[in-house]
Amino acid sequence: MAISGIITVMERAARKAGTKLRRDFGEIEHLQVSQKGPADFVSKADQAAERTLYDELSHARPGWGFLMEEAGEIAGEDGKPRFIIDPLDGTSNFLHAIPQFAISIAVQEPKLGGGWGDITAALVYQPVTDESYWAERGRGAWLHDRRLRVASRRHLHECLIATGIPFMGHGDMAQWSRIFGAVAPEVAGIRRFGAASLDLAWVAAGRFDGFWESDLNVWDVAAGMLLVREAGGFVSDFRGGDRAVERREFIAGSGAVHSKLQKLVAGALRGA
């Protein structure tokens, strides 16, 4: 599959920002870190990566809008798409010298009459491993030049499921505990690696069989959701519907695994 112009633009920007992140990751003890909320930190590396992405992408696609984790929303010209960017997904990992973090970029199309519609292109780039996961609507999901498909396992007892764990100031620990109590006895294992964009990319790649998490922002998941869907998987809210971004709750997996995982999650919530 030939890489399109928009994916080439996104990957070039991500690699340039990723080079700086790798450099700063190697000098982690020297980073100046500011606190912006309970257990929620942003580093100079995060801000520099976002600025690099903005500069590169705005130069390549003049007039497009942006929605970014740090800088917020920057309006573009009417009728043009926007980039949704998380410049450093896995900031806590990064600041603790854990090499599990990524750059996430998605392209969202405008709706006729206003508002925002479908995600049509996605890139999740892991600077440490130099893995570039990308997808375009209708063209599949890929790791470099290798086509990705969600795992074929159908039985939960064979499955490895990814999640995020609530932490200080973020998430509903009581809800998460109920879901964990329902899911854990049914599966081969549960993993919490700390970067939702990579968790979803790994579902697309078949490394994880499924994923659930709540209290996520759109920049955490926009690219990963398209990767999963283009790899043949499903993404929904906890009720099995299509309001995952609105509700900030996400279940992902192959058709068989998604369905079974969703039923466990919904059952746990009904039993609250």
Tokens 């939702």 belong to which residue? Answer: 196
Q: Do the annotations mark residue 172 as ligand-binding?
A: no
Cα separation, 248 vs 29, whole angstroms: 33
Q: Do the annotations mark residue 89 as ligand-binding?
A: yes
Q: Do the annotations mark residue 86 as ligand-binding?
A: yes
Q: What is the DSSP letter of 3?
A: P
CB 245 within 8 A of CB 118: no
Residue 218 DSSP SS3: helix
Indicate the pairing of strand 65-68 with strand 72-74. Answer: antiparallel
Both tokens of 228, joined, read 């999963």
Both tokens of 217, joined, read 């922002």
Residue 29 CB partners (closer than 8 Å, separation 6+): none
Cα separation, 99 vs 26, whole angstroms: 10
Both tokens of 242, joined, read 């299509």
Q: Do the annotations mark residue 88 as ligand-binding?
A: yes
Q: Do the annotations mark residue 261 as ligand-binding?
A: no
Both tokens of 259, joined, read 């369905």
Task: List the binding residues for Mg(2+).
Answer: 69, 86, 88-89, 220
Task: List the binding residues.
Answer: 69, 86, 88-89, 220
